[in-house]
Structure 1
Amino acid sequence: MIAFTKISSREDIKPKKQKKSNSLNDKNISQVAFLRKVIEELQDGILILTNTGKLIFGNSKAYDFCHQIEDNKDSYPIPQAIWDICKSLIENISFECDRNIISDEIKLNSTTIFRIRVRYFRLNQFHQPYLLVTIENRYESVKNAVITEIKKYQLTSREAEIWHLYRINYSYKQIAEQLYITINTVKKHMKNIHAKKQDFFTQIYLTENA
């Protein structure tokens, strides 16, 4: 089992003050602290591993997602399912092909699906290959996208409910059962939603080509 160590909290990523440091070192420390804070604020989980499975870096989201995928209170391992995807990259793609990405999904239930992407991560100062692993909570990503789409397409509250369920892969029958309406009502609302969506993109096209 690959050991997974929880990454430091936000307070820990602040650059530590040193009594003796030149301006260049101070600048480098500030840049590293800034980048770590940016990564901590990302919606996706980020892991950097060696090709032998050693953890180099991980943000808090990655820790949380890994805990959900494989709940082990004693060691918090990197889930075997994620490491299997990493091994697919290692075994099938050369390190020189650093733009190639292996992608797969881990489904825990109907609303908890993680999309895992793995690619090689090249650092000029190091010769050994690293793996960059991103972990995306598909439900959260779709939910955030839906919020934006509801505003863009100017959907009503009922249309918004239906569109959200549709975007997380509910069938018309499931939407009807969830909202206690008929399938024909769902179809009617979906027709209106698609019309509003088409109007939105038509307006963009006309504006850009005016």
Structure 2
Amino acid sequence: MTVPFFSVPPARHVAWVNVYAQQRSNRRSRRNHSNEGNQGDFSSLSSSEGDFVSQDALWGVLLEAMPLGVMVLASSLQMVYCNEKAKDLCDRLRNEANELPISICQLCQRLIQEDSPEPLIMEYQEQEQFLRLQARWMNLSTPQPLLLVLIEDCHESMRNELAIEQDKYDLTDREAEIWFLLRQKYPYQDISALLNISLNTVKTHVKNIYAKRKNLAKERKIWYSR
């Protein structure tokens, strides 16, 4: 179930693509200095070897390493847990410090009212914020029901996805810009206007992009990104 949302303003797409293009040369340089021949053994730790890692510490590190904001709320909307990513994203959303953002309150209240076992998803866009929120009940035996809220920064996800796509198809910076806009269902005329290039130039780049995608289908590769 998804709450309706507004799309991201087109004018911001080109700015995001420019940021991705600047990062590409740095990613390639780092990969060139990596040791491709090193392989690690895949084996689990024995109980004695893993005793030095406490379960609480391990889960804490794992939750902080997640690219998503993670929050656990009581059904009264009192905070039970919040990782650093969630704190950062909430700081962008709320009007006053130490307040649960209104958008998260509304999402959780709707889930509580509907009393559905299915997760509820809302995509929130305001000014430069574009977040995807997901709330669901946690299936735990606790005195009070708990809600799990996941917060995704869609701008960050788009940047990471474009980085993979650019390396995956070996796209030039201009091709990456055009491919990103194509992924957003932009017509050729709009791409031409946004990037200030001719319509024929757009068509040439698109032809090159699809040729690279077709060639890639015949190969087996692994891609890395940062």
With the length of structure 1 as denominator, give the TM-score of the two structures. 0.71
Question: Residues 172 and 48 of structure 1: is their aligned pair in 2 closer, same or farther, counting only changes over 3 Å?
Answer: farther
- Note the C-alpha offset of 1:119: 0.7
Q: Which has the higher contact order (CA 8 A, sep 6+)?
A: 2
2:104 paired with 1:82: yes
Question: Aligned with 1:81: secondary structure?
Answer: helix
Residue-pair matches, total? 171
1:143 matched residue in structure 2: 159
- Counterparts of residues 28-177 of structure 1 (less than 5 Å): 30-72=54-96, 75-94=97-116, 97=117, 100-109=118-127, 112-124=129-141, 126-167=142-183, 172-177=188-193
| Alpha-carbon distance between aligned partners in 2 of 1:182 and 1:188, rounded to the nearest angstrom | 10
- Note the C-alpha offset of 1:175: 3.7
- Note the C-alpha offset of 1:168: 5.9
1:200 matched residue in structure 2: 216
Question: Residues 140 and 29 of structure 1: is their aligned pair in 2 closer, same or farther, counting only changes over 3 Å?
Answer: same
CA RMSD of aligned residues (A): 2.6
CA contact (8 A) 1:69 1:108 kept: no
Matched AA of 1:147: A
Question: What whole-Å deviation, never above 9, does each CA across 1:20-64 have from its counterpart, x for those lacking one?
Answer: xxxxxx959821112111211221111100111010000111111
| Alpha-carbon distance between aligned partners in 2 of 1:30 and 1:187, rounded to the nearest angstrom | 57
- Note the C-alpha offset of 1:107: 0.1
Unaligned runs of 5+ residues in structure 2 are 1-49, 221-226
Question: Residues 147 and 128 of structure 1: is their aligned pair in 2 closer, same or farther, counting only changes over 3 Å?
Answer: same
Question: Aligned with 1:46: secondary structure?
Answer: strand
Question: Residues 130 and 150 of structure 1: is their aligned pair in 2 closer, same or farther, counting only changes over 3 Å?
Answer: same
Matched AA of 2:134: R
CA contact (8 A) 1:51 1:129 kept: yes
Question: Aligned with 2:130: secondary structure?
Answer: strand
CA contact (8 A) 1:105 1:114 kept: yes
CA contact (8 A) 1:139 1:168 kept: no
Question: Aligned with 2:54: secondary structure?
Answer: helix
Unaligned runs of 5+ residues in structure 1 are 1-25, 205-210
Matched AA of 2:146: Y
With the length of structure 2 as denominator, give the TM-score of the two structures. 0.66
Question: Aligned with 1:115: secondary structure?
Answer: strand
Question: Aligned with 1:53: secondary structure?
Answer: coil
> Percent of counterpart pairs with the same letter?
35
Matched AA of 1:81: S
- Note the C-alpha offset of 1:160: 1.7
